[in-house]
Amino acid sequence: MRIVYHLGAHCTDEDRLVRCLLKNRAVLAEQGIIVPSPTRYRQVLRDTAVQLKGQPASQETQAMLLDQILDSPQAERLVLSWDSFLSFPAWATQGGLYAHAGERIRAFTLIFPDYAAEFHLALRNPATFLPDLRGKVLAKRNEDILPGVDPFALHWSSVVRQILRLNPGVPLTVWCDEDTPLIWPEVLQAVAGHAPATELLDSDAVLAMIMSDIGMGRMQAYCAEHPPVSVAQRRRVATAFLEKFARNDQVEQEIDLPGWTEETVAALTHAYLADVERIRQMPGVTLIEA
C-alpha cells in the first residue's frame, strides 16, 4: 500500500480536494483507493507524531492506526489530506516559510515507516498568499504573522528543498494554486491515482468558482458536442470561456497590507515565478502546469 500525503498548503485548497474525493469515494474504492474522512486521522496522527518523538512506529502501532483509519483491508492507496501537515498557520512564517516542514512531514511518515509515501503540494504567489494567511491567523485571534517578516525572503523552493532532503526518495508533485481552475482534473488524478478514464463528480468545481453559471453551462454544452481529445484542448476551451465569462470578483484580488505598493506586488510576483522555475529543475519533483 502507498500512503499519499496532500500537504495543502494553507490558503490554496481549503479542503476542496478531499471533499471532492470523498464525494467520489465509492468509485475510487473500486480501484483500491481509500479516502477516509479527515476526522478519522488528523488529530490521531498529530498526537501519534508527538508521542513517537521522531522514532518510527512499531508494526503494532501501524496496524492499530490503519485499523482506525481504513474502511477496507484491500487498500492499495490511502489518501490523507491536511493543510497543517506543514505547520499550523500561526507558525507558517516563523524563521522562514514553513521552516520546519521537512521535519514535520518526516515525523508523520515515521508513523507508517513500512509503507511507501508520496507528497503533493500546492504553491501560491506570496503576494496573495501572505495577505490571506494573515487574515486566517487574525481570524483565530492569534498575533499578526507579518511584522518583522521580509516577504522577499520567503521561498517555496526552500520548502521543497527541505522536504526532499529530509524525506529522500519520496516523490513530490507540486502545482501553482493560480493554475488550479485549469488543471484541477489533473491534480485530482495525481493525488488519487485513479485510472485516466475515471469520471469524477465535481471535477469542474474549482473552475465554476471563477466562471459565471451561464459560462459554465455553455462550456459544458460545447464540450458535450465537441469532446476535447486531449488535456491541452480542454484547457484551451476552458481558457476561451473564462475570457468571456470570468467572475471578476473571484479572479481579481485587492491587496491591502501596510507598506505594500503595486510595485511590491509586482516584484513579489516576479520573484515567485523565478522560484517556481527553480523548483521545476529539482530532481524528484513533478510540476503540474497549465
What CATH number does residue 98 fall under?
Answer: 3.40.50
pLDDT at 191 over 90: yes
Question: Within a domain: residue 206?
Answer: no
189 is a domain residue: yes
CA atoms within 13 A on the CB side of 202: 14
Q: Is residue 216 part of a domain?
A: no
Sign of CA dihedral 140, 105, 192, 282: positive
Q: Among 59-63, 154-158, 164-168, 227-231, where is mean pLDDT lowest?
A: 227-231
Entry pTM: 0.95
Domain count, the chain: 1
Mean pLDDT, residues 224-252 taken together: 88
- Establish if 211 belongs to a structural domain: no
Q: Has residue 244 been placed in a domain? A: no
What 3-state class would DSSP assign to 11?
coil
Instruction: Give a three-class secondary structure readout of 106-145.
Output: HHHHCCCCCCEEEEEEEECCHHHHHHHHHHHHHHCCCCCC
How does pLDDT run across 34-47, given as a tens digit for each residue? 999 999 999 999 99
Q: Which of 59-68, 129-138, 220-229, 243-252 has the lowest mean pLDDT?
A: 243-252
Residue 251 has pLDDT above 70, yes or no: no
Which residues fall within 8 angstroms of residue 180, CB to CB, at 6 or more apart?
12, 122, 187, 206
Distance CA 133, CA 275 (A): 19
9 preceded by a cis bond (ω within 30 of 0): yes
**Cα-Cα-Cα-Cα dihedral of 239, 240, 244, 249, to 10°?**
0
Tell me the one-letter amino acid at 87: S
Q: What is the mean pLDDT of the chain?
A: 94
Question: Phi and psi at residue 125, in whole multiples of 5°?
Answer: -55, 120
Asked whether residue 227 is domain-assigned, the answer is no
Residue 218 lies in a domain: no
